Amino acid sequence: MLFFRYLLPYALVVGVIGGLGVGAFLLTRELVGALAGMSTEARAAILAALATPIVAILSVVATHFYARKREIAAAQLARKTEFYGDFLEEYFELLTSPTGKKGTKPSKTAADELQRKMLDHASKTARRLILWGGWKTIQCYLAMRNLAAETPEGEPSNPNIMLRFEDLLHAIRKELGHPNRGLARGDLLRLFITDIDSFLGGS
């Protein structure tokens, strides 16, 4: 009973695919044998006649494949743009807030704020990165998160976490199709951290 309910559909599919494969093999073998017994002129004429529909079919398949691939890439880009927009808005809101999160004592540096944001939202961010993050973006995020996790509780954050954050910003921009050529170290951080030059000068 279980076989007919669960396994029979799969067995039928395997049987159909196997039958088609065997049929294609036998047909190809017969065709090759028939061509081998013909004269050179006859073989050339038949192959020329077969070439046109084969090329047309391959062209249609290739066009459909690449069109579908572009559609998927466009849909993914839209979702990535939405995700990264929300992702960065959350971080920038805390980094640029003079009071930090409601009900908490504000941190002294942007690195402290960023570390707290990382630890508070690590689980939520990880789930979204699995769905939409590119490999380079995920690597940069992990490098930043690991650096934040290395700091003992109650100790000042490692200011180099800001550089890892900028690496993450570069990776996000590249994934969304924006070139990073011409951007020097700290240029993206200067957009929202006014005293970043004092840190970069001593790093």
Rg (CA), the chain: 29
* Those residues with Cβ within 8 angstroms of residue 116's Cβ, 6 or more apart along the chain or in another chain: 94, 100, 101, 107
Whether pLDDT at 3 is above 50: no
Q: Confidence band (pLDDT; 50, 70, 90) for 9?
A: low
What are the tens digits of pLDDT across the range 178-191? 999 999 988 998 88
Percent of the chain with pLDDT over 70: 68
What are the tens digits of pLDDT across the range 106-159? 345 666 777 777 666 677 788 888 888 899 999 999 998 888 788 776 666 677
Whether pLDDT at 97 is above 70: no
pLDDT at position 188 is: 92
Distance, in Å, from the CA atom of 3 to the CA atom of 39, rounded to the nearest integer, reads: 53
Distance, in Å, from the CA atom of 118 to the CA atom of 148, rounded to the nearest integer, reads: 7
Distance, in Å, from the CA atom of 38 to the CA atom of 33, rounded to the nearest integer, reads: 9
